[in-house]
Amino acid sequence: MDTENLHYFEKAPIAKAVAHFALPMMLGTSMSVIYSILNAFFIGTLNNTAMLTALALTLPLFAVIMALGNLIGVGSSAFISRLLGEKRYADVKHVSSFAFYSSLVIGLIAMAIGLPLIDSIVHGLGATPDSFGFTKDYVTIMLIGSPFVVLFFTLENIVRSEGAAITSMIGMLLSVVVNIILDALVIFVFHWDVIGVASATVISNLVASAYYTYHIGYKSRFLTISIKQFMPSKDILSNVFKIGVPVFVMSIFMGAMSLIFNRYLVQYGEQAIAGFGLSSRLLQFPELILMGLSEGVVPLIAFSFTANRLRMKHTIQFTIKTIFALAVVFGVIVYLISDHLIGLFTNDPQLIEMGSYILHVTFLSLFITGMTSLFTGIFQATAQGTAAFIMSIIQGITLIPVLYIANRMNGFHGVVWSLVISDVAAFLVGASMLYMLRTKLQPDLDHLAQ
Highest-scoring range by mean pLDDT, 7-16, 210-219, 291-300, 441-450? 210-219
Q: Give the Cα separation of 140 and 34 in Å (integer).
A: 23
Closest CA relative to residue 183, chosen from 374, 42, 27? 42
- Which of 16-30, 259-273, 371-385 has the least mean pLDDT? 259-273
Q: For residues 400 and 104, which has the higher predicted lDDT (pLDDT)?
A: 104
Handedness of CA 343, 346, 351, 357 (dihedral sign): negative
Tell me if 269 sits within 8 A of 302, measured CB to CB.
no
Residue 283 has pLDDT above 70, yes or no: yes
pLDDT tens column, 189-230: 888 888 888 898 899 999 999 999 999 988 888 899 988 888
Tell me if 15 sits within 8 A of 92, measured CB to CB.
no
**pLDDT (mean) for 384-396:** 79
pLDDT tens column, 97-139: 999 999 999 999 999 999 999 989 888 887 878 888 888 888 9
Residue 248 has pLDDT above 50, yes or no: yes
DSSP state of 222: S
pLDDT value of position 33: 66
User: Average per-residue pLDDT in the chain?
Assistant: 82
Tell me if 286 sits within 8 A of 327, measured CB to CB.
yes
* 390 CB-side CA count, 13 A: 15
End-to-end CA distance of the chain: 36
Closest CA relative to residue 91, chosen from 237, 207, 202, 211? 237
- Which of 22-31, 406-415, 429-438 has the least mean pLDDT? 22-31
- Which of 44-58, 86-100, 290-304, 312-326 has the least mean pLDDT? 44-58
Residue 143 has pLDDT above 90, yes or no: yes
DSSP state of 189: I
pLDDT value of position 443: 47
Closest CA relative to residue 201, chosen from 166, 163, 153, 161? 153
pLDDT tens column, 44-75: 777 777 787 787 777 778 878 888 888 898 88
Q: Percentage of the chain surpassing pLDDT 90? A: 17
Handedness of CA 163, 13, 319, 166 (dihedral sign): negative
Q: Percentage of the chain surpassing pLDDT 70? A: 91
pLDDT value of position 255: 63
